[in-house]
Structure 1
């Protein structure tokens, strides 16, 4: 695998920026219900909620899945990649969270195939014809492009948190300065999660954010909402 270079860094910033056409702005990963329920009401509660999502919920699983997709891309194992994607989609605990990961993943893969084409990614994409879990899409794209896995995982984790902080700025009584402090405080934890995920296997998958999962079901019928999850 080639070492990291400036082009890889620019590619990652483009792929995981708010401007990449995946529709991340439309999803809050249950945060909107958490605000409605009073679980997130200020900077401190937002930081605590996000910390749990990162270390005990979806982000940890996403990083493990992205790392495995990266490895399968490097070995060009499309059959195993398809099975991994099925597993990743099955891990979504609600209809809305399934939509969140599958819509973003499909959009990410399609946009990347068009804007950043490469033969290995085109070949592997044939094993992902339908819905694609977002971490699988990012991991396979990074691996197919020969990018180092560590930066891919760290960038994915940071983008995940930044998107939810952006959602909090719209849904919760949290300002931009507070949101920036939350991102800065969580950055070292994201880096540690990415490092651990890079050497983990699928047996390490698991989460314990039951209130968030139940909240995502309640969000489906929430009276007033601006997000799709």
Structure 2
């Protein structure tokens, strides 16, 4: 069942979304050569704590994980494409870093992610990030009342296909509200005109993630969390929490 949120509930999620956005902004500003992933996690933790927000990640343990997640952000570096655990790893020049953060305020959740390069960028990494951001924007633009969920996935997938990057449909976007992961699942590909009909009050976490080159697959590290490409290709990830409104999509995690 996919719940509809009232305007007041959407505003409550917007409040959580602004804290998530602030945490991601602070992490990006602090990310530099020599800084550890654990130090970045502490920065995000401080932002959430100061705002009275509760991390959605710290202690989270879905069915596929053998241990709870330890951290308030996912920090995925280079070929670690999703769910990277914060660690003592120190960033190096040219690293491609994906940061994901989720928080709740008064029981209402928001979730967002961004990717960027630390230090000197590789042109192909900048292109991959730009493709991922374009795909996110395309998915958001499609998320209007009367559209189908398949329209959102198809819009995301079309951007990835045109750019020739690798896409995986196992992990994608999701509904969000009182819980971080609610129905429906939003694959980063699909057929237009299929699936749930979107209505004002639906709130979705839309999140494309791509790899360099087509056909990449992944494995999970011994930490039971970090998803890493099997061929060493780098990945990028972008995500916003978006409310469907009569006036169009409203991004609840927009960064300043």
Same-fold status (TM-score > 0.5): no
Higher helix share: 1
Q: TM-score, normalised by structure 1?
A: 0.36
Structure with a larger share of its residues in strand: 2
